[in-house]
A = this chain, B = another copy of it.
Amino acid sequence: MPESIKSLIESRVSTGLYDSSRTLPDEVVNELVRLATRAPSAYNLQNWRFIAVRSEEAKARLKAAAYDQPQVLDAQVTFIVCGCLAAHEGLAQALQPSVEAGIFGQEMLEGWVAAATSGHENNFSKQRDEAFRSASLAAMTLMLAAEDMGLATGPMSGFDTEAVSKAFNLTDKDIPVMLITAGYAAENNWPQKPRKPLEQVLEIV
């Protein structure tokens, strides 16, 4: 019986300590990213890209760009979750399968492309915000999917963006928004930390 989402959300822990003796097949990495890309994005832009850092050599490169945090070596995989700028340029191609599936027509595709282009093409800040949103929505989906497979994850925003971009030959369109370590947790990780009381963060109007 699958665990309920509610219990996974309530028990999920940002993990720093991994059991480096275990291995994880590439098929699981593929499946995590396949599920991550089911996250929503504006216009279905799918303005994200994932680099799965798996080899010892690539892990060492990433560790050097991530303030030497050791979990990058110990985790079975670390995802560099990128958000993509200028995504409107690829929107027609991204939406073509929706037309082919009969979800909407060519005219609507063209309307969306026109709207996205007019909103984004000269607005770098909007492109960047959209990249951060989409990449983060995909990242959270990936983490919950991993949890459901019995894997631990740890999101990291502490890394040198430029160094990561350089070390992995990212184009200037791909912004590394977050790193996510994933794999088998070692013992002695913390439990989930308490949250603020609801009345401090929620207002109903």
Interface size on A, residues (CB 8 A): 74
Decide: A35 and B6 in contact? CB cutoff 8 A. yes
The answer to the question of A151 belonging to the interface, with a C-beta cut-off of 8 Å to chain B, is: no
Of the candidates B46, B52, B140, the one whose C-beta lies within 8 Å of that of A202 is: B52
Decide: A34 and B157 in contact? CB cutoff 8 A. no
The complex places the Cα of A132 from the Cα of B9 at a distance, in Å, of 20
Decide: A205 and B55 in contact? CB cutoff 8 A. yes
The complex places the Cα of A92 from the Cα of B190 at a distance, in Å, of 18
Which B residues lie within 8 Å of A20 (CB)? none
Distance from A154 Cβ to chain B, minimum over Cβ atoms (Å): 8
- Write the chain B residue with the least CB distance to A101: B194
Of the candidates B104, B129, B201, the one whose C-beta lies within 8 Å of that of A37 is: B201
Distance from A145 Cβ to chain B, minimum over Cβ atoms (Å): 6
Decide: B52 and A133 in contact? CB cutoff 8 A. no
Q: Mark A19-55, 1 if CB is under 8 A from B, else 0.
A: 0000000100110011101111010101011111111
Decide: A5 and B144 in contact? CB cutoff 8 A. yes
Decide: B194 and A155 in contact? CB cutoff 8 A. no
Decide: A201 and B33 in contact? CB cutoff 8 A. yes
The complex places the Cα of A88 from the Cα of B4 at a distance, in Å, of 33
Which B residues lie within 8 Å of A53 (CB)? 205
The answer to the question of A71 belonging to the interface, with a C-beta cut-off of 8 Å to chain B, is: no
CB proximity to B under 8 Å, residues A38-83: 38-40, 42, 44, 46, 48-55, 58
A sample of 7 inter-chain contacts (CB < 8 A) reads A1-B1, A2-B6, A44-B193, A46-B195, A129-B177, A133-B136, A136-B140
